[in-house]
């Protein structure tokens, strides 16, 4: 190659780079991880989600279309007003292009409206509410890791099929608990089971003995826990203490994370059925990701952490394919491109923003079955994505043409 | 089967017993608070954090020193109590001459710092702590299954409450303490070391919180915020019982446990509120509390 050719090549390359860069606003892609860094959900999302996002950016190469990719994070304290204020500041004056994690349904729904007004992207992995792909769906909004419907279908259906056909619900007395109870009760009835009663407990609540006794008196075969976090941990711990799990009644926890199992210990949590979007020990790819994640955080990733990684990676691929970071264009690409990574083997994004992927029905191992630290679950069944998630037409999402 | 107030009597007995068991925790915690307020005039807002530390020290002892429950039951309160002594010597001591509010602000700030520190190191999900083998299982009482561990909690709490009450009200040491609260200068004139006594009283009250924490560890999630929700209820208990009245706070602790237990049956959604409603009513009718001296 002579000097002239080289110069021409370099000039061409520069022009192309310049052209591509012009499509990336401020010549930078900024990913905002808005999460609970200090409260109830800080273990199952929190700092781990920030690390997961950074890992995805590093694995992508740190640059997309020649523009640097940066991860920023903030603590929303599980409050809707704080989170929408941060989201406005990020989108309007700090050049943030996408907000992710968004644990806590009230937070996710508040940020969804801020993002919609600005045609900016939000990808929810943390929150569970199906409203995000229902009435509150948006052209630039996505729901990645799981939702209450998938939890209800996964655990509810499996338990009824195994003979657990009468249910009593212990429900946290706020929107999330009611939604989870409602979704699960519907699944139980659809599959031929019946709901014999429920008790709504205050949130948060430390002592469950009274409620457990009521559940015991109901003679239901299954006690469904429509709560999360410390409430779930306390309920399971005390159910064992009161001999409920040893006397024939079974617990079905409708939303539980591997960090909760870690906190309970296998002796207390053993045999519990749960649905999850990700398990670190499922295959070689998930193990490889989990190992790297654990080196950075000291913990195994939850499905939220894995979901954040997967969604950030897919978002960067979509920018690469669209050649721009403009919200609507990238959203269109996200809906087109299949999701293939360690989190979603064969995922697809629907018109309502739901990323449909296979879920796992898992059972907590007995202490003797656990061979190494964090070896907690055995996968009982892989639930195909189309069965796990609410059918598109049933969600009342205005974007879905009927 | 006949029914009593809408539910079978068996279920009612069960719920009453459970209420009593929860009352045992309230009594144990409010005992320490009442002790500290009655004798030091300090509103100890870090009581919840000290309760949490008791549970965490028990877990740390098990995890790193393999010291089982019974050892922790003695050692953990001593560790937490010793920390209390340090806090009293370094900080609280300087506030006795000032308004109550300063003590409240200091201890509240300390609680936030302690909880934040534990959260930073151990995360929020909590740590596993099993019921000791000798207290596992339970007895079928016919109307309910009574876990052995809960029975032990009630017995231990009753013994501690009565013991503390007896020490304060019936012994010479208790008489000195009460006298020192009324008139420290005069008591010192008799050659009694009042500052040391005060320090040990605070340490003792804090140790009681730590002990309650150890007793809670096997049945509640051991996490950095386990005390912060409980402490508000316990404060209500102390206010209803009469600030500083030891017997009052013990009786109120058990009584409110029962009331809360019944609320959980008839109107579960209100069970977190009922205690505060009672507090408001008591304050309207008897501002000094049920057992307080106006």
Residue B126 lies in a domain: no
Domain range holding B90?
A: 9-121+136-285
What whole-number percentage of chain A has pLDDT above 70? 94
- A residues 182-241 near B, CB within 8 Å? 199-202, 204-207, 209-211, 213-214, 216-217, 229-230, 233-234, 237-238, 241
Across the range A180-185, mean pLDDT stands at 94
Burial state string for A335-367 with b = 16 or more CB within 10 A and e = fewer than 16: bebebebbbbeebbbbebbbbbbbbbbbbbbee
Summarize pLDDT for A5-55 with one digit per residue, the tens. Answer: 665 555 555 545 444 445 888 899 999 999 999 888 999 999 999 999 999
Task: Please tell me whether residue B82 adopts helix, strand or coil conformation.
Answer: helix
Contacts of B113 (CB under 8 A, 6+ apart): none
Residue B285 has, within 13 A of its CA and on its CB side, a CA count of 8
Tally of structural domains, chain B: 1
Partners of B149 on chain A (C-beta within 8 Å) are 241
Across the range A369-387, mean pLDDT stands at 95
Confidence of residue A401 (pLDDT cuts 50, 70, 90): confident
Question: Whats the size of chain B, residue-wise?
Answer: 294
Whether A233 and B126 lie within 8 Å, measured CB to CB = yes
Whether A241 and B149 lie within 8 Å, measured CB to CB = yes
d(CA A101, CA A30): 14
Supply the CATH number for residue B44's domain: 1.10.3470
**pLDDT greater at residue B125 or residue A379:** A379
The yes-or-no answer to whether A27-146+283-357 and A149-276+359-388 have a common fold is: yes
Q: Number of Cβ pairs closer than 8 Å across A and B?
A: 104
Decide: residue A377, CB within 10 A, 0-12 exposed, 13-18 middle, 19+ buried: buried
Across the range A144-154, mean pLDDT stands at 94
d(CA A313, CA A322): 14
Measure CB to CB from residue A210 to each of B116, B145, B265 and give the nearest one: B265
Structure tokens at B248: 């009052």
**pLDDT greater at residue B221 or residue A304:** A304
d(CA A333, CA A344): 17
Q: How close, in Å, is residue B20 to chain A by CA atoms?
A: 11
Residuewise pLDDT in 10s, chain B (294 residues): 445 556 677 778 888 889 999 999 999 999 999 999 988 888 999 999 999 999 999 999 999 999 999 999 999 999 999 999 999 999 999 998 888 899 999 999 999 999 999 999 998 888 999 999 999 999 988 888 899 999 999 999 999 999 999 999 999 999 998 898 888 889 999 999 999 999 999 999 999 999 999 999 999 989 999 998 889 999 999 999 998 888 999 999 999 999 999 999 889 889 889 999 999 999 999 999 999 876
Residue written as tokens 């009927």?
A402
Is residue A215 a contact partner of residue A170, using CB atoms and an 8 Å limit? Answer: yes
Element (H, E) at A112: helix A105-118
Q: Best residue in A200, A205, A237, A259 to probe B by mutation, most B CBs within 10 Å?
A: A237
Measure CB to CB from residue B230 to each of A206, A238, A241 and give the nearest one: A206
Q: For residue A130, which of A87, A175, A95, A97 has the smallest C-alpha distance?
A: A175
Measure CB to CB from residue A43 to each of B125, B150, B220 and give the nearest one: B125
**Does CATH place domain A149-276+359-388 in 3.40.50.2300?**
yes
Residue B168 lies in a domain: yes
Partners of B258 on chain A (C-beta within 8 Å) are none
Q: How close, in Å, is residue B262 to chain A by CA atoms?
A: 9
Q: Tell me, what DSSP letter sits at residue A154?
A: I
Hey, how many other C-beta atoms are within 10 angstroms of the C-beta on B190?
Answer: 9
- Give the pLDDT score at B181: 84
Residue B131 lies in a domain: no
Q: How close, in Å, is residue A44 to chain B by CA atoms?
A: 8
Hey, how many other C-beta atoms are within 10 angstroms of the C-beta on A199?
Answer: 20
Locate the chain A residue with the closest alpha carbon to B147. A242
- Give the pLDDT score at A23: 81
- Give the pLDDT score at A10: 57
Examine the pLDDT at A402 and tell me if it is beyond 70. Answer: no
d(CA A180, CA A196): 16
Query: At CA A149, angle to CA A143 and CA A154, rounded to 5?
Result: 115
- Give the pLDDT score at A6: 60
Contacts of A304 (CB under 8 A, 6+ apart): A44, A45, A48, A49, A101, A103, A125, A126, A145, A257
Whether B22 and A207 lie within 8 Å, measured CB to CB = yes
Select A27-146+283-357's CATH number: 3.40.50.2300, 3.40.50.410, 1.10.3720.10, 3.40.140.10: 3.40.50.2300
Residue B2 lies in a domain: no
Partners of A43 on chain B (C-beta within 8 Å) are 123-125
Residue written as tokens 């009655």?
B38
Across the range A159-173, mean pLDDT stands at 94
Locate the chain A residue with the closest alpha carbon to B268. A201
d(CA A103, CA A145): 11
Whether A213 and B14 lie within 8 Å, measured CB to CB = yes
Is residue A94 a contact partner of residue A34, using CB atoms and an 8 Å limit? Answer: no
Q: Does B265 touch chain A (CB under 8 A)?
A: yes
- B residues 147-206 near A, CB within 8 Å? 147, 149-150
- Give the pLDDT score at A284: 96
> In this structure, are strands A359-364 and A273-276 parallel, antiparallel, or unpaired?
antiparallel
Q: Does B264 touch chain A (CB under 8 A)?
A: yes
Residue B4 lies in a domain: no
Is residue A124 a contact partner of residue A146, using CB atoms and an 8 Å limit? Answer: no
Q: Best residue in B63, B268, B276 to probe A by mutation, most A CBs within 10 Å?
A: B268
Measure CB to CB from residue A265 to each of B124, B130, B269 and give the nearest one: B130
| CA distances, A300 to each of A34, A257, A376, A378, B118 (Å) | 20, 11, 11, 15, 20
Residue B146 lies in a domain: yes
Domain assignments of chain A as residue spans, ordered by start? 27-146+283-357, 149-276+359-388
Rounded to 10 degrees, what is the CA torsion of B174, B175, B180, B183? Answer: 160
Partners of B230 on chain A (C-beta within 8 Å) are 206
Residue B290 lies in a domain: no
Q: How close, in Å, is residue B214 to chain A by CA atoms?
A: 15
- Give the pLDDT score at B5: 57
- Give the pLDDT score at A21: 46
Is residue A359 a contact partner of residue A146, using CB atoms and an 8 Å limit? Answer: yes
Is residue A140 a contact partner of residue A115, using CB atoms and an 8 Å limit? Answer: yes
């Amino acid at each position: 190659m002579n000097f002239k050719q080289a110069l021409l090549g370099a000039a061409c390359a520069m022009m192309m780079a310049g052209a591509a860069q012009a499509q990336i606003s401020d010549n930078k892609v900024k990913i905002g991880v808005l999460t609970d860094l200090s409260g109830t959900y800080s273990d199952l999302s929190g700092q781990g989600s920030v690390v997961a996002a950074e890992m995805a950016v590093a694995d992508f190469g740190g640059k997309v279309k020649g523009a640097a990719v940066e991860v920023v994070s903030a603590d929303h304290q599980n409050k809707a007003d704080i989170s929408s204020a941060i989201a406005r500041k990020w989108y309007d004056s700090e050049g943030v292009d996408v907000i992710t994690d968004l644990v806590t349904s009230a937070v996710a729904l508040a940020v969804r409206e801020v993002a919609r007004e600005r045609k900016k992207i939000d990808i929810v992995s943390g929150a569970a509410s199906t409203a995000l792909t229902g009435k509150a769906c948006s052209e630039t909004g996505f729901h990645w890791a799981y939702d209450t419907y998938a939890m209800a279908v996964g655990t509810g259906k499996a338990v009824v099929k195994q003979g657990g056909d009468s249910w009593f619900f212990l429900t946290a007395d706020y929107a999330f608990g009611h939604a989870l109870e409602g979704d699960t009760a519907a699944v139980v009835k659809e599959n031929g089971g019946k709901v014999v009663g429920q008790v709504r407990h205050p949130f948060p609540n430390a002592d469950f003995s009274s409620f457990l006794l009521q559940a015991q008196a109901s003679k239901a075969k299954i006690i469904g826990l429509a709560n999360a976090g410390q409430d779930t941990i306390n309920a399971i711990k005390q159910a064992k203490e009161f001999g409920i799990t040893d006397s024939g009644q079974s617990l079905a926890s409708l939303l539980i994370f591997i960090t909760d199992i870690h906190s309970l210990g296998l002796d207390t949590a053993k045999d519990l059925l749960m649905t999850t979007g990700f398990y670190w020990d499922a295959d070689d790819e998930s193990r490889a990701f989990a190992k790297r994640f654990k080196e950075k955080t000291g913990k195994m990733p939850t499905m939220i952490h894995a979901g954040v990684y997967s969604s950030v990676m897919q978002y960067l691929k979509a920018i690469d394919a669209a050649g721009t970071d403009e919200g609507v264009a990238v959203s269109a690409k996200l809906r087109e491109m299949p999701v293939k990574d360690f989190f979603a083997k064969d995922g697809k994004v629907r018109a309502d923003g739901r990323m449909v992927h296979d879920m796992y029905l898992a059972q907590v191992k007995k202490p003797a079955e656990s061979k190494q630290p964090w070896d907690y679950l055995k996968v009982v069944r892989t639930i195909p994505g189309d069965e796990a998630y609410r059918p598109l037409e049933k969600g009342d999402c205005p974007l879905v043409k009927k | 089967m006949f029914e009593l107030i809408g539910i079978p009597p068996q279920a009612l007995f069960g719920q009453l017993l459970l209420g009593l068991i929860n009352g045992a925790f309230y009594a144990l915690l409010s005992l320490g608070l009442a002790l500290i307020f009655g004798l030091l005039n300090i509103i100890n807002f870090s009581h919840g954090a000290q309760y949490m530390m008791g549970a965490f020290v028990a877990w740390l002892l098990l995890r790193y020193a393999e010291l089982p429950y019974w050892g922790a039951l003695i050692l953990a309160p001593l560790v937490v109590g010793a920390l209390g002594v340090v806090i009293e010597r370094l900080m609280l001591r300087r506030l006795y001459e000032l308004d109550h509010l300063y003590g409240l602000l200091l201890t509240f700030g300390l609680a936030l710092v302690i909880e934040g520190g534990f959260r930073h190191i151990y995360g929020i999900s909590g740590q596993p702590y099993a019921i000791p083998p000798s207290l596992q299982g339970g007895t079928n009482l016919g109307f309910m299954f009574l876990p052995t561990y809960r029975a032990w909690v009630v017995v231990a709490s009753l013994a501690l409450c009565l013991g503390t009450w007896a020490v304060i009200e019936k012994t010479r040491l208790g008489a000195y303490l009460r006298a020192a609260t009324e008139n420290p200068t005069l008591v010192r004139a008799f050659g009694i070391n009042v500052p040391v006594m005060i320090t040990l009283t605070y340490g003792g009250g804090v140790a009681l919180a730590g002990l309650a924490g150890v007793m809670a560890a096997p049945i509640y999630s051991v996490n950095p915020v386990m005390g912060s929700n409980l402490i508000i209820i316990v404060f209500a208990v102390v206010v209803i019982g009469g600030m500083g009245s030891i017997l009052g706070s013990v009786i109120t602790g058990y009584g409110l446990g029962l009331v809360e237990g019944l609320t959980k049956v008839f109107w579960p959604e209100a069970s977190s509120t009922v205690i505060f409603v009672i507090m408001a009513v008591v304050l309207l009718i008897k501002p000094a509390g049920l057992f307080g001296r106006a």
